[in-house]
A and B are shown apart, each in its own frame.
Chain A
Amino acid sequence: MPKVTIDGVEIEVQPGTTVLQAALSRGREVPHYCYHPGLSIAGNCRMCLVEVEKAPKLMIACQTQVADGMVVNTRNERVEQAQSSVMEFLLINHPLDCPICDQAGECRLQEYAVEHGTGVSRHDVGKVAQSKAVDIGPHITLDQERCIQCSRCVRFCNEVTGTGELDFFQRGDRTKIGLYPGKSLDNLYSGNVADICPVGALTVKEFRFATRVWYLKNTPSVCAGCSKGCNVMVAVGRKQELMTSPGQMDDGIKRIVPRVNEDVNGHWICDEGRLSYLKLESAERLPYAQDGDGVELDWEVATLLAVQSMQTAAATGRLGIIASPRATNETLYALKKLVDGIGGARIGTHRNHRGEDDNLLIRADKGANAAGAATILGTEDAVAVTLAARNGELDTLVVMGDSLDPADTIDLHGAAEDVGQLIFVGPFVDVASKAAHLRLPASAWAEEDGTMVNCDGRIQLVRRCHRPRGEGRPGWLVFQDLMRAAGVESSAWSEWGEVYDAMRDDLDAFGGTSSAAIGLLGLSTGTPAAAGA
């Protein structure tokens, strides 16, 4: 393997590694704009110029492959002068409107200007004017003046989605990004262009002027939009002025961006997943436990009522359960323990399919944990349980609401009329909770920790990003409370990991894993779960 000396330190790298990758691999930051690990190499920003000994000119680190014995300087005087001059060029026609730019605070232009710029401008002959706030797609706004022509967005649309909406128009310093005539940046992954834009030229409309990024608290989690389970970073707003109700700890999820996981989603997420928090945030929430008329019930009373109804039905084999494919493994396992403890029930999982798989990330199966549900509860379809209810075979039916989007909760098509009691467990006021005789609030996605199994059999961590609304509590806690009310033997689980490890000891499918071993990038079980198909 070739050995390369970078800033005096010799390292060994794989053949074909570029100087930039080699430097980054040993924590040496070489400033760059156009290079992106998920895209082809363009070499146009010229920010990563480094000195390669014996080469007469400075070389771009992003494209220069290491050769054995190569000696590279990434920060001597000559290199720093070049980086400083490129920084100056990038800024001369930039509007410097950071105070009103959404990118401020996470802008490469700001970061490198501080690190490599001179701090003063020698440019005083008028900037090139370009268009502001150009509407280029349903979710994306373009500011042509802020653009530094790194071409990441163009390459994304050409190489990742293959839709090719964007390109450069005009020449020289009039060059601008734009849409081809008659096109709109409306592919299903368009939001990624804003993520990879190193400056504030491309912004997601839904996040525009929503908050400043330094008010955000980021939590690594997993998208629950479909069974792919793309790794994401969930940002919750913490700006005091936006917290309107007393005791409020945050002002809700402000955005979701992809988190790199080469084994799942690479660098990208789809727009539906990116914007899934909008439905969550705007949905009407079930504030507290209530009866069918909406009268608030004390939690103890509510759990007791629920358990009595379930036990009575179970005793005669007339209990039905409809599980949510977006519930965590922990919730589903607690449900299973409850059902086993009170004498069994017909359990079906809602099969939530929409559209088709695409060749990138979107999966038709919207049940983010459909695979986990199949492993824990079996593969019966909720339709069978609903039919049983309609046929008068059930006295009590427990329905879990969807934890991401109220519209995704199963529609029972009037089955509530055919059972004695419909018990709802979930976060939203939706079609099932409205029909229910007893409603138990649970937390929504991003309000509880837990695990899910994606379509490739990968166990991944879903994280609590902020406090649940109202009395909503994690589903496994709801079911643990029901177990206690029913007098069923149960462990005193106090956090998700205990539930997971109990499940691991109980179910072979999770054997050999542990809650501590899952980590931020998940754990592959090696076998894609056939379930949920």
Chain B
Amino acid sequence: MERVLTRNIHKENSQSIGVYLAGGGYEGLRKAVTSMTPAEVVDAVKKSGLRGRGGAGFPTGLKWSFMPQEKTKKHYLLCNADESEPGTFKDRLLMEQDPHMTLEGCMIGAYAMQADACYIYIRGEFVFGARMLDEAVAEAYAKGYAGKNVCGTGWNCDLVVHRGAGAYICGEETALMTSLEGERGNPRVKPPFPAQFGVWGMPTTINNVETLACVPDIIVRGPEWFAGIGTDERNTGSKLYCLSGHIQRPGVYEAPMGLPLKELINDLGGGMLHPDRPLKACIPGGSSVPVLRAEECDCNLDFDSLAALKTGLGSAGIMVMDTSTCMVKALQRISHFYAHESCGQCTPCREGCGWMERILLRIEEGRGLQQDIDLLKNIADNIEGRTICALGDAAAWPVQSFVTKFRDEFQAHIDEKRCTVQGATYA
């Protein structure tokens, strides 16, 4: 299939504005600001069926339309480049290899919502990506694609790269705003929603990097073209999949929305890492979404197909596990991550994540008690849906799904006081 988002990344000097312009870059921005009204841009994105690529899959055009029509205050667009979900590394590729595509998307989005500035909040560890973005922003300013008088239209919009300081929670949209304001990056209680009361109290929209990178081509080639790619009208467009785990060729793959998971593993990914170790489980959307058993993996990678399996496409971080994987150890590692990254603000997540991790560590180390499996499930149930932000859910879902779908393995761990998985290797 045709590569859209990754069409430039293998070119020499793919980060430079020259290469980007030669490939038709900034035509979308020019078209939007010179021949379309902001409302028409929002409409086009609505028609394209584009859904947010950050994890929740919320329709982007609809989100944009939540911004006040009458502008009474400053408007802001925030580009969420705090990509930190374990197993996810697609935004990093875009920013490091083709930053202008993201910048162009930012500027089109900013125009559609009449934003006064767009902040790109990039994960602190992405040093190279931040440098590429900084250089690209300077080039965009120099060529008149950002700043004052964009494309000669008299419209002004600043573009600012802001580096985070290394907290997973700052990728949560309200925590990102708090962090950008210079405060401790705690999520905020909603409502009020960002479109009414966002960063510095101004109407704000937050979009993921890949989401915004999709926008230039929607404007240039039309929403119908974008909507024509993918499974159906609710799952459209070209998509980046992050493939990792026990796989021959891990990496980022671009394919239409709805790519069959087996095709990603066996064709694009070159099959399982070891021919004698078949697929055991797969996490399809970053570490927070419920795990799939091997027999559930004959599915398509899109929002609705995976929702039907009670999991999610999330950030499209597909983690493949073969039969040598100890599910107790895997879950313990995941839970450690969430316990470490919980902001500590609200009670169920702050206390529950650490509690689950300590129980999992106990099982993993052969000290598990018979009641631990039910206890884990119960703690996760008590966290889910009762926290300020989605981190609580993200910590609960893996626990619920692992202990339910692989209960025997947890039970064996407790009974045998050791790992019973053949050939389990610990990194």
Contact of B388 among A43, A86, A90 (CB under 8 A): A43
Take A46-B347, A126-B358, A172-B350 as given contacts and tell me if A86 and B386 are in contact as well, using a CB distance cutoff of 8 Å. Answer: yes
List of A residues within 8 angstroms of B186 by Cβ = 168
Whose C-beta in chain A lies nearest to the C-beta of B375? Answer: A122
Contact B351 A90 (CB under 8 A): yes
Asked if A210 is at the interface (CB within 8 A of a chain B CB), the reply is no
Whose C-beta in chain A lies nearest to the C-beta of B344? Answer: A175
Stretch at the interface among A56-64, A247-255, A448-456: A56-64
Asked if A360 is at the interface (CB within 8 A of a chain B CB), the reply is no
Asked if A278 is at the interface (CB within 8 A of a chain B CB), the reply is no
Task: Tell me the smallest distance from the CB of A88 to a CB of chain B, in Å.
Answer: 8
Which B residues, 8 to 29, have Cβ-Cβ distances below 8 Å to chain A? none
Asked if B343 is at the interface (CB within 8 A of a chain A CB), the reply is yes
Which A residues, 15 to 72, have Cβ-Cβ distances below 8 Å to chain B? 41-47, 49, 56-58, 60, 63
Asked if A218 is at the interface (CB within 8 A of a chain B CB), the reply is no
Contact of A57 among B346, B352, B382, B386 (CB under 8 A): B386
Contact of A86 among B189, B341, B348 (CB under 8 A): B348
Take A122-B375, A171-B343 as given contacts and tell me if A44 and B348 are in contact as well, using a CB distance cutoff of 8 Å. Answer: no
Contact B351 A125 (CB under 8 A): no
Which B residues, 312 to 348, have Cβ-Cβ distances below 8 Å to chain A? 339-348
Asked if B167 is at the interface (CB within 8 A of a chain A CB), the reply is yes
Asked if A167 is at the interface (CB within 8 A of a chain B CB), the reply is yes
Task: Tell me the smallest distance from the CB of A183 to a CB of chain B, in Å.
Answer: 15
List of A residues within 8 angstroms of B359 by Cβ = 125
Contact A86 B385 (CB under 8 A): no
List of A residues within 8 angstroms of B388 by Cβ = 43-44
Asked if B362 is at the interface (CB within 8 A of a chain A CB), the reply is yes
List of B residues within 8 angstroms of A57 by Cβ = 385-386
Interface centre among A43, A58, A168, A172 (most CB of B within 10 A): A172
Task: Tell me the smallest distance from the CB of A146 to a CB of chain B, in Å.
Answer: 14
List of A residues within 8 angstroms of B344 by Cβ = 149, 168, 170-175
Asked if A98 is at the interface (CB within 8 A of a chain B CB), the reply is no
Asked if B184 is at the interface (CB within 8 A of a chain A CB), the reply is yes
Which A residues, 74 to 132, have Cβ-Cβ distances below 8 Å to chain B? 82, 85-86, 88-90, 92-93, 122-123, 125-126, 128
Asked if B196 is at the interface (CB within 8 A of a chain A CB), the reply is no
Interface centre among A47, A88, A126 (most CB of B within 10 A): A88
List of B residues within 8 angstroms of A86 by Cβ = 347-348, 382, 386
Asked if B387 is at the interface (CB within 8 A of a chain A CB), the reply is yes
Instruction: Compute how far the CA of A86 lies from the CA of B189 in the bound complex, rounded to whole angstroms.
Output: 17
List of A residues within 8 angstroms of B354 by Cβ = 93, 128, 172-173
Asked if B141 is at the interface (CB within 8 A of a chain A CB), the reply is no
List of A residues within 8 angstroms of B345 by Cβ = 44, 149, 151, 168, 175
Instruction: Compute how far the CA of A93 lies from the CA of B342 in the bound complex, rounded to whole angstroms.
Output: 16
List of A residues within 8 angstroms of B339 by Cβ = 172-173
Contact B348 A89 (CB under 8 A): yes
Asked if B126 is at the interface (CB within 8 A of a chain A CB), the reply is no
List of B residues within 8 angstroms of A128 by Cβ = 354
Whose C-beta in chain A lies nearest to the C-beta of B349? Answer: A172
Contact A171 B342 (CB under 8 A): yes
Contact B341 A172 (CB under 8 A): yes
List of A residues within 8 angstroms of B353 by Cβ = 172-173
Asked if B66 is at the interface (CB within 8 A of a chain A CB), the reply is no
- The size class of the interface chain B forms with chain A is 20 to 34
Asked if A362 is at the interface (CB within 8 A of a chain B CB), the reply is no
Asked if A394 is at the interface (CB within 8 A of a chain B CB), the reply is no
Instruction: Compute how far the CA of A148 lies from the CA of B345 in the bound complex, rounded to whole angstroms.
Output: 10
Contact of A45 among B347, B355, B385 (CB under 8 A): B347
Instruction: Compute how far the CA of A43 lies from the CA of B192 in the bound complex, rounded to whole angstroms.
Output: 13
Whose C-beta in chain B lies nearest to the C-beta of A62? Answer: B189
Instruction: Compute how far the CA of A17 lies from the CA of B358 in the bound complex, rounded to whole angstroms.
Output: 41
Instruction: Compute how far the CA of A126 lies from the CA of B169 in the bound complex, rounded to whole angstroms.
Output: 26
List of B residues within 8 angstroms of A170 by Cβ = 344
Take A125-B362, A126-B358, A172-B339 as given contacts and tell me if A47 and B351 are in contact as well, using a CB distance cutoff of 8 Å. Answer: no
Instruction: Compute how far the CA of A465 lies from the CA of B359 in the bound complex, rounded to whole angstroms.
Output: 53
Interface centre among B186, B347, B348, B358 (most CB of A within 10 A): B347
Interface centre among B167, B345, B354, B362 (most CB of A within 10 A): B345
Instruction: Compute how far the CA of A168 lies from the CA of B375 in the bound complex, rounded to whole angstroms.
Output: 29
Whose C-beta in chain A lies nearest to the C-beta of B372? Answer: A125
Task: Tell me the smallest distance from the CB of A47 to a CB of chain B, in Å.
Answer: 7
Task: Tell me the smallest distance from the CB of B421 to a CB of chain A, in Å.
Answer: 23
Contact B189 A63 (CB under 8 A): yes
Whose C-beta in chain B lies nearest to the C-beta of A91? Answer: B351
Contact A47 B347 (CB under 8 A): yes
Whose C-beta in chain A lies nearest to the C-beta of B189? Answer: A43
Whose C-beta in chain A lies nearest to the C-beta of B385? Answer: A57
Task: Tell me the smallest distance from the CB of B288 to a CB of chain A, in Å.
Answer: 16
Contact B189 A92 (CB under 8 A): no
Task: Tell me the smallest distance from the CB of B343 to a CB of chain A, in Å.
Answer: 6
Instruction: Compute how far the CA of A128 lies from the CA of B351 in the bound complex, rounded to whole angstroms.
Output: 10
Contact A89 B351 (CB under 8 A): yes
Whose C-beta in chain A lies nearest to the C-beta of B188? Answer: A43
Take A63-B189, A125-B359 as given contacts and tell me if A171 and B340 are in contact as well, using a CB distance cutoff of 8 Å. Answer: yes
Whose C-beta in chain B lies nearest to the C-beta of A123? Answer: B355
List of B residues within 8 angstroms of A89 by Cβ = 347-348, 350-352, 355, 382
List of B residues within 8 angstroms of A151 by Cβ = 345
Whose C-beta in chain B lies nearest to the C-beta of A94? Answer: B351
Contact A167 B347 (CB under 8 A): no
Contact B184 A167 (CB under 8 A): yes
Task: Tell me the smallest distance from the CB of B209 to a CB of chain A, in Å.
Answer: 24
Contact B189 A46 (CB under 8 A): no
Instruction: Compute how far the CA of A168 lies from the CA of B344 in the bound complex, rounded to whole angstroms.
Output: 9
List of B residues within 8 angstroms of A168 by Cβ = 184, 186, 344-345
List of B residues within 8 angstroms of A93 by Cβ = 351, 354
Instruction: Compute how far the CA of A41 lies from the CA of B346 in the bound complex, rounded to whole angstroms.
Output: 13
Instruction: Compute how far the CA of A47 lies from the CA of B387 in the bound complex, rounded to whole angstroms.
Output: 11
Which B residues, 168 to 198, have Cβ-Cβ distances below 8 Å to chain A? 169, 184, 186, 189
Which B residues, 360 to 378, have Cβ-Cβ distances below 8 Å to chain A? 362, 375
Whose C-beta in chain B lies nearest to the C-beta of A122? Answer: B375
List of A residues within 8 angstroms of B386 by Cβ = 46, 49, 57-58, 82, 85-86
Extra contacts besides A57-B386, A125-B355 (12): CB < 8 Å: A44-B346, A46-B347, A47-B347, A88-B382, A89-B352, A93-B354, A125-B358, A128-B354, A168-B186, A172-B340, A172-B344, A172-B353
Return the 5 tightest CB-CB contacts between A and B, nearest first.
Answer: A175-B344, A173-B354, A85-B382, A89-B351, A43-B189
Q: List 20 A-B contacts (CB under 8 A).
A: A44-B189, A46-B346, A63-B189, A82-B382, A88-B382, A89-B347, A89-B351, A89-B355, A90-B347, A90-B351, A92-B355, A93-B351, A125-B355, A151-B345, A172-B340, A172-B343, A172-B344, A172-B353, A173-B351, A175-B350
Interface residues of chain A, those whose CB is within 8 Å of chain B, are 41-47, 49, 56-58, 60, 63, 82, 85-86, 88-90, 92-93, 122-123, 125-126, 128, 148-149, 151, 167-168, 170-175
Interface residues of chain B, those whose CB is within 8 Å of chain A, are 167, 169, 184, 186, 189, 339-348, 350-355, 358-359, 362, 375, 382, 385-388
